[in-house]
Structure 1
């Protein structure tokens, strides 16, 4: 990853790194403020202890005051971070060396002990700059000490044996520089390693968050007080796309899920039931797991779309059904064809009376019905995998109504169409949506035959009020469906009509589930029936 990319993705990490570079120089300036302020205060108070200022008090006071003022002035470029770091470091450390040498000279040269302050200066420069600079600072300070000693001897201040002290101080400065350089290098390596590990952890955190948000499985994390700490996009969809920012408690977001969570927390072996946020949303199967080893810790909740699980089961069911239909086609259709043909030949006999002809008609009708059942089962087992694409209902439904009226030889005014304004786009297989609508509209036309008004069938498309999901309602003006019968109308082979196969609504619901949609019966209080297709939010990508 490039440095520019790291700065864009991890600005806080780069800000911390920049702060770590300037912080030692800031601390070194605080030391400068302390020494300059201490010497100035001691001089003003008259409490200077010998040998401080013993040789030249005026020089000592002037240098201490200027040194303290310089430390104050250095605060401005340090806060502005201008000019650049290395220029400020060279200038400030050079100031420290010069001020220390002058204070040492004003206090009686090397024997005063003031020169030992250079150890702190060289050590600080080693930490601040690193590389070869520590040795340069040590060499510069040593030359300054020797130069001052030479000058002090020339003016009669020093003694010949003080060269040994100057040499020992210089050697100490070099040893300090080398030791601190090694120590500072290890610190920098540790900081660099920690920074890389921090970037790796930040990358891993972002990757984990991205994976969680893109998972098809819903993920919820709640703490010991049932407060929501994390909810990914899939969980948001499964729970009805609530305004999550308004909910902090799980019970406020989904009372049914909160009940299941409390039941599991009390007894992890308890049976977990499916929940359904609303009729237009799929049923959801929750799974629970503890976070950490403590019983009072948080809870991780996985939400599985029951539609997806049913779709996998359906694939197994269809594979078995496919093998069964192959046997049906061979074992039933051939004898059925023979029975139907024999009935037709018998019906052509001139010796049959009207009662016998009615019986041959029953044979013919029931043979055709059996053949239709076999064809529907074979169609269901051979059904191709859905290929959803984005459909604009404002264009699709008017075209469907025209085609349906033409195919069924109906007057156009028999079918009413009402489309809500605004975008109405769904993600669905067009051919399968047409098959569902055709089946529902055929049923609606058949059951609305006795209705005297127009239209006899109404199609309404819009968005649900709560979750803003697209829907299509197919309404008829027939006698309606008894609640006891409505509970079974989507079961295969269930029918109340003598000529029906009981597979139309079952196939329609299966096609809807294959496209992540839902087909439900909606009771109508004013009479008639309503079947609603509730589509998946088209903004969500299907797998």
Structure 2
């Protein structure tokens, strides 16, 4: 569905326009000349008594008509070959037309032959092909030739009435009038064609520009007619619906049965909000919007598709921006008194006169001050996640390096955290620093809550391709799991089952996943334990 470029090449455009005003009409003129010459020859030789053609000089008429026919054949080929140039061909052809017609008139009795109308047609053709002064040049040549023919006839034939000079003059005026009108008509035609050509170019450029914009929208665009045949689909919709590259569905049902059903529901009840749906080959949840393009029964429908994950990501960005402003304003107000409390608690704990009960109270103050400080740190850290720098990562290499660092940093056994990636070349797109924090939060959550008495805790990192074709990573532990009452609240902020926890670990992990176009969910396991799945965005 990609389109490249949106401008009509000016050289080709000018060449086509020039050809439509020059060589194409000249070819029509050569065809007309060939038919005319053939008729003049056939009428003379096949029907000698039917007309007065060649009545005064049959030999001259025969020679000129045959020569004119041969000339029509030759110029027909030369026009096709475009040799010689256009102006020279027009000048030669129209001049020969005028001379040939005048000679045929002379051989057929002059103006009484009725061939004078052919001079008018020749002058009009010349004026259309070469407007301007050349139009009047052809009219002048025809008038002079006509007058010369009549003068020669007047001097040669006795008894010719001199009053026929008036007819010659009127025909000459007709020739100049026809040349003037043809020149004005040709000028208007050229201006109209140039304007129409420019309007066509503007419309073509505008259409291609619109198509260029539609193809690069992040939202999916599909246009269907009243029979649900696809008229337009942009690249974003193609990716959202996860249509294979080689597929070329013509109907909306073949493209997406869910979307076709939503369209029919909307057509029956336009006021109802369309329900979101998930394509079978995609992890994304799409929200459709429908708009009718026209008022008739056969009007097309514009389908607007929004990825709810992208919408949630945009809302998340706004939420993080607001949270950043809030935390920046309250961090100073909280940390200053918190620092004073911690400092006073430390000085009080160093006093030698404290009893055991007072010392316990000092420890409680220090513990809760650290907890409050940890909450502030987490909130500040969350508010700084407004921007991401995703990179393409080879998941197996990145996880192996991450696990080695974590085992060394926390002094864990080498078999506490294991990695299993299939296929080994599985790739993802994620911000490396945020992926580090996300994975670390999940593993730390498993280490804190997944231990069982008498059983060694094990955490498995399993990477694979999900059923929808998107890469995913499962963080699995063999702990006691999460009970059903707690499961509904684990991703809520400040919810914790630990007295020392802040309740922001899983909430922060989900937020980090969402701003990287990924999803974090808890997956129930029949074998027991906990499984948190990160479903990454599909890598092109």
TM-score, normalised with respect to structure 1: 0.83
Pair 1:277 & 2:269 matched: no
The 1-side partners of 2:513 and 2:332 are apart by 27
Asked whether the 8 Å contact 2:286–2:306 carries over to 1, the reply is yes
- The one of 176, 191, 195 equivalent to 1:174 is 176
Match of residue 165 from structure 1? 167
Structure 1 residue 111 displacement after superposition:
3.5
Match of residue 103 from structure 1? 104
The 2-side partners of 1:131 and 1:526 are apart by 95
Asked whether the 8 Å contact 1:238–1:281 carries over to 2, the reply is no
Structure 1 residue 504 displacement after superposition:
1.8
Which secondary structure state, in structure 2, belongs to the residue aligned with residue 246 of structure 1?
Answer: coil
* 1:373/1:423 CA distance change after superposition, 3 Å: closer
Structure 1 residue 28 displacement after superposition:
1.8
Match of residue 119 from structure 1? 120
Asked whether the 8 Å contact 2:392–2:428 carries over to 1, the reply is yes
Matched ranges for 1:174-323 at <5 A: 174-243=176-245, 245-277=247-279, 281-318=283-320, 321-322=323-324
The 1-side partners of 2:524 and 2:205 are apart by 52
Matched ranges for 1:120-159 at <5 A: 120-156=121-157
Aligned length: 529
Structure 1 residue 171 displacement after superposition:
2.3
Which secondary structure state, in structure 1, belongs to the residue aligned with residue 279 of structure 2?
Answer: coil
- Greater shift, 43-52 or 444-453, is seen at 444-453
- Greater shift, 225-234 or 510-519, is seen at 510-519
Structure 1 residue 444 displacement after superposition:
4.5
The 1-side partners of 2:352 and 2:235 are apart by 68
The 2-side partners of 1:348 and 1:438 are apart by 41
Q: Residue deviations 1:308-367, cap 9 Å, x none?
A: 4333433443455456655587469847985994999499988649xx999987776566
Matched ranges for 1:356-367 at <5 A: none
Match of residue 391 from structure 2? 390
Match of residue 54 from structure 1? 55
Q: Residue deviations 1:390-427, cap 9 Å, x none?
A: 3332664443333333322234553325363558362x
Pair 1:37 & 2:38 matched: yes
Asked whether the 8 Å contact 2:58–2:107 carries over to 1, the reply is yes
Q: Residue deviations 1:171-194, cap 9 Å, x none?
A: 221111111101110111011011
- Greater shift, 435-444 or 111-120, is seen at 435-444
Structure 1 residue 260 displacement after superposition:
2.4
Asked whether the 8 Å contact 2:518–2:536 carries over to 1, the reply is yes
* 1:483/1:57 CA distance change after superposition, 3 Å: farther
Q: Residue deviations 1:413-443, cap 9 Å, x none?
A: 53325363558362x4332222112222333
Q: Which runs of 5+ in 1 are unaligned?
A: none
Match of residue 418 from structure 1? 421
Match of residue 516 from structure 1? 517
* 1:119/1:24 CA distance change after superposition, 3 Å: same
- Point out which structure has higher relative CO (alpha carbons under 8 A, 6+ apart): 2
Match of residue 3 from structure 2? none
Asked whether the 8 Å contact 2:458–2:477 carries over to 1, the reply is no
The 1-side partners of 2:255 and 2:351 are apart by 68
Structure 1 residue 117 displacement after superposition:
0.7
Match of residue 460 from structure 2? 457
Q: Which runs of 5+ in 2 are unaligned?
A: 1-5
- Greater shift, 281-290 or 223-232, is seen at 281-290
Which stretches of structure 1, 4 residues or more, deviate above 6 A after TM superposition? 346-350, 356-364, 450-455
Structure 1 residue 163 displacement after superposition:
3.7
Match of residue 491 from structure 1? 492
Asked whether the 8 Å contact 2:291–2:302 carries over to 1, the reply is yes
The 2-side partners of 1:84 and 1:449 are apart by 95
Matched ranges for 1:367-386 at <5 A: 368-380=370-382, 382-386=383-387
RMSD: 3.9
